Structure formats: C-alpha cells, structure tokens
Structure 1
C-alpha cells in the first residue's frame, strides 16, 4: 500500500493540548501537515498553535466534545480556514479510579460522555469534510478495550465502545473511500498517568507501572505508531508487539465479516433506508 502523504493535508485533533495530543501535533507538523487544534481551553490551543507555526499551518479553536454544536462550529471554522479537513483524531479523554459500587454516578456519566460519546460527536462533526477528501478518521482507544481492569469500569467500557464504534463506522463509510482506525496504547507517561500514580487506589492497583505487565512504554513509541498508522490508514494500531496478540485476537473474525457479511451495496442501501431516529418501533 502506498503511504498516505501528510504534507499539505489538514489534521484536526481534539484534546490537542494534552500529553499525547501535544506530542502528536508536533510529529504531524514535522510531516508537513496543517493542524486544526481543538481543546476546551482556547488560550492554550492558540498558544500551542503559535508554537508550531503561523496561522497558515496551525491554528487553535475551543470546543467541548460533550457539546455537538460546539464541536461542529469548531470543525466547520477549521475547514473554512484551511480549505479542507483530511484527517480527524478524536483524542480527548479522561479516566477514573473507583469501583462500580461507590463511584459517583456523575463521574461515570462524564467519563462515558467524553470518551465514547465525544468520539461519536467528533466523527459526526468532521465526517462531511473528511468524506469530501476521501480521508481518514482515528480514535484514541486503549489496550483497556481488550484487557479490562478493576476500578476502571467506565474507562474500559468507553474504550471498548470506541473500538466497536470505529469498526461499525468503517463499514458505513468505506464506499466513500474514507478510512477509520483506532489506536490502542498501553500505559505511557501523561498527566493522566500522573493523576493515577498520585491516587492511593491507582498506585496500589498498578504499582506505579514500573515493571511487569503494567510497565509504561515511552510516549515516543505511541506517537510513532500513531503517525505511522495514519500514513498507512490502518484499521487497528497497536504501538507495541507484546500487546499485538491480545489486541488482535478479539478482531480475528472481523475481516471475514467485513468482507463476506455485507456484500455489494448492502450497507449503503440499508443506510439510505434508515430512519434518522435510529429505529422504527411500534
């Protein structure tokens, strides 16, 4: 497969000022991509953009992934500014550390809303622009989509949901020439992991992520795999070989279903007949 060249293309990133978002933005800019940087904090996003280049190549916008109208405004403004959006990276995410029995219901709903619904909103807002460029959409999931840990119920549920959402969406847009992928890193150094290690429960559960199964990997490993995955328009991106088997086993049957389960124009035909409410019941 020929490499999907990033130079001159526009990439939109949500959660752009976070640990992973910042590192990915720098790597993409090094590839010559134009950057639409989207974050809750407009000042931070603008400051980040100014450090990466003039407004012709990098610009920041404020948006909340919990608000579709907010996201749509930012995405449309970015498309107007750069003239296109080729790639969108749904990167915004949060975590938690509490068992189902005691977690604050508001915390559960917030995590699901940002991590899962936020990906849906990001894809929904960006798809018309990405579709016109036959581009690529990527969501940041986690190895937690496949390895489910205690005290992380809403996080692992949301990340597994992101993986499933990407698979379903890929089938819906493949006839438009749009690619959809999910990236599944294990633990790596970010401000979120600092929060985990400063939390007594998190430190007890993961032992500081210093060794064994839960040992952290370098941020650079994740960034390199993510950028390479975009350039290859991969369906599933797993940054480390040691985790590849655990990530790929659950999806072994998917390529066969994708290819043989929905032949010809079955999917676009069904989409044309679908109700906007999502279901018709009596």
Structure 2
C-alpha cells in the first residue's frame, strides 16, 4: 500500500461506535491515522479503539451537546494532537407519515444530523485552521432527492449538504477544505432495521435496480478514506451517484408520480405507522438523550 498522507494524522470521527463510523475508523487507522472516536456507546467505542493497530482514543459525547464536544476536543488535543481531519458521520433516522410523527423524535433527527454536524464543525474548526485540515460531511442520496415517509431524515441531509457548501466557501481562505459524501445504501443497523418495516422495504424495492443495492460498510469506508486523502470536494458512493447531480430537478416530479401510484397500494396492504428511531444507534441515542426512559423510551 502507498504511504498515506494520513499517516500520523489525528482524525476525528463522530458516530463511530458501529456501522459506517466504525468501518471508517478501521480503514483510516489501517492507513496510519490516529482516530479519535466520538459517540454515545462508550463500551463499543473503547472496544473498537483497543482493536485498532495504532493510537486511538474513545470519547463518549453527544454531538448536540456543545460542552461535551468541547471536553472531547480538549482530550483529543491532549492525547493525540490537534486533528487535521474531522468526519461528521453521526446520524439517526426515523420513518413514517409526517401527520403521525412524534415531533420530539422528528426534531431529534434534525438536532443530531444538522445541529450535531454544525457543532462538530464549530468545535474543531480552530484545529482545522491550525492544520489546514479537511472536514468531511456525511450526506446521502436523500440530500439530492427526498422520499416520502422520511421527512426528517431527508430534510436533515439536505440541510447538511447546504451547510457544508456554505462552510466551504467561508473557510477556504484559511486553507481548510470541506467535502460532502453522497452515499446510497450501506449495510448498517439503521438500514437493516428500516427493512423490518414493510413500507420502507417496499419503497426501496421500487427504486431503480442500481439504487436498491446495499453496499458493505468496508467498501464505503475505503472510498471515503481515499476521498479524505485527496481532500475531495465531493465523493459519491457508489460512483454512479455523480450522475444524479445533473438530474436533480427531475427527481421531485418523478418521486411524486411513483408515490401517487404506489403509496395507496402499500397503505391498503399495511397501514403506515411511525417507526421510531431506527437501528441500534437510534436506540442508543434515544436512551442517552432521555436516560430516564430506558431503552424502550421511544
């Protein structure tokens, strides 16, 4: 393997306890980086850090808690040195009809995905300026084309895309690069949990064949690590998502036409219900943000 420019660089990854965040930590560590892992699940973070080949740090923090992030940042600087890469990966999702949404849960998706990303960037921005570093915002196909029954998630991913574009223009003068990662389906707890709900499973089934494919987290992590090495403005996983950028204006009417045809049939077969926060990461977030409610509080 070539000598990576990430060797001996401190890299912060939020939402690193499992899934895509954990896969990125492993891949970046394999390329010689020193990962700082931030998330809710302390035990999982510590186990992951201990399994990595070089120095790594596990830190429990809620990305919507500015004080907790500042404490985490101080620990990263003291133990690993100032980060030159920050990957805003933390994210949660829920599904279901907006008319029946639990608005506290709906707002939590926005808080974690949008506000959490902004607070992560704000906390580590002094380090990125010092190191002329790189900030990677994990976005989604949902940033380019919103789907029904996923209003909070789609709104949040469109929001982080716009945030990253704005931040890029603002910090370029300081030598800081900002990238956006547009991802399709990855084999994570969130996606597996979504597939337990018939309506979300059916919605994915009605996407064009290439868009239905689920990719291993390790495949996605390799593509993201290469984008970090090259300080890419945009990375698409899979690569064909780049083609969607040129057709974004056509997506809303296409989604509307398919939804008008398919949603009545799906709802007749099984009434739509809110899913709650999806996956083990969503459940961990629900427990951490509402500790008195316990694991089933949402």
TM-score over 0.5 for the pair: yes
Q: Tell me, which stretches of 5 or more residues in structure 1 are unaligned? A: 252-282
Give the 3-state SS of the residue equivalent to 1:238 in structure 2: strand
Give the 3-state SS of the residue equivalent to 1:244 in structure 2: helix
Q: Which has the higher contact order (CA 8 A, sep 6+)?
A: 2
Change (3 A) 1:171 1:100: same
> Which one is further off, 218-227 or 64-73?
218-227
> Which one is further off, 110-119 or 192-201?
192-201
Q: Distance in 2 between matches of 1:62 and 1:88?
A: 16
Q: Which residue of 2 aligns with 1:26?
A: 26
Does structure 2 retain, via aligned residues, the 8 Å contact 1:210–1:216? no
> Would you identify which runs of 4 or more consecutive aligned residues in structure 1 move more than 6 Å?
none
Q: Distance in 1 between matches of 2:145 and 2:208?
A: 18
1:209-220 aligned at under 5 Å gives the runs 211-220=209-218
Q: 1:137 aligns with which of 135, 138, 147?
A: 135
Shift in Å at residue 124 of structure 1? Answer: 0.6
Q: Which residue of 2 aligns with 1:156?
A: 154
Q: Which residue of 2 aligns with 1:41?
A: 41
Q: Which residue of 1 aligns with 2:280?
A: none
Shift in Å at residue 188 of structure 1? Answer: 1.5
Q: Distance in 1 between matches of 2:22 and 2:208?
A: 24
Q: Which residue of 1 aligns with 2:17?
A: 17
1:69-108 aligned at under 5 Å gives the runs 69-108=67-106
Does structure 1 retain, via aligned residues, the 8 Å contact 2:12–2:36? yes
Q: Distance in 1 between matches of 2:246 and 2:46?
A: 38
Supply the RMSD in Å over aligned alpha carbons. Answer: 2.0
Q: Deviations over 1:187-234 (max 9, x none)?
A: 111010011011232123223989453222333331122111111111
Q: Which residue of 2 aligns with 1:192?
A: 190
Does structure 2 retain, via aligned residues, the 8 Å contact 1:143–1:247? no
Change (3 A) 1:61 1:208: farther
Q: Which residue of 1 aligns with 2:165?
A: 167
Q: Give me the TM-score of the superposition, normalised by structure 2.
A: 0.78
Pair 1:65-2:63 in alignment: yes
Q: Deviations over 1:162-196 (max 9, x none)?
A: 11100100111111100111101101110100110
Does structure 1 retain, via aligned residues, the 8 Å contact 2:145–2:248? no
Does structure 1 retain, via aligned residues, the 8 Å contact 2:110–2:153? yes
> Which one is further off, 101-110 or 239-248?
239-248
Q: Give me the TM-score of the superposition, normalised by structure 1.
A: 0.83
Q: Distance in 2 between matches of 1:136 and 1:216?
A: 28
Q: Distance in 2 between matches of 1:211 and 1:249?
A: 17
Change (3 A) 1:59 1:209: farther
Q: Which residue of 1 aligns with 2:225?
A: 227
Q: Distance in 2 between matches of 1:210 and 1:218?
A: 19
Q: Tell me, which stretches of 5 or more residues in structure 2 are unaligned? A: 250-298
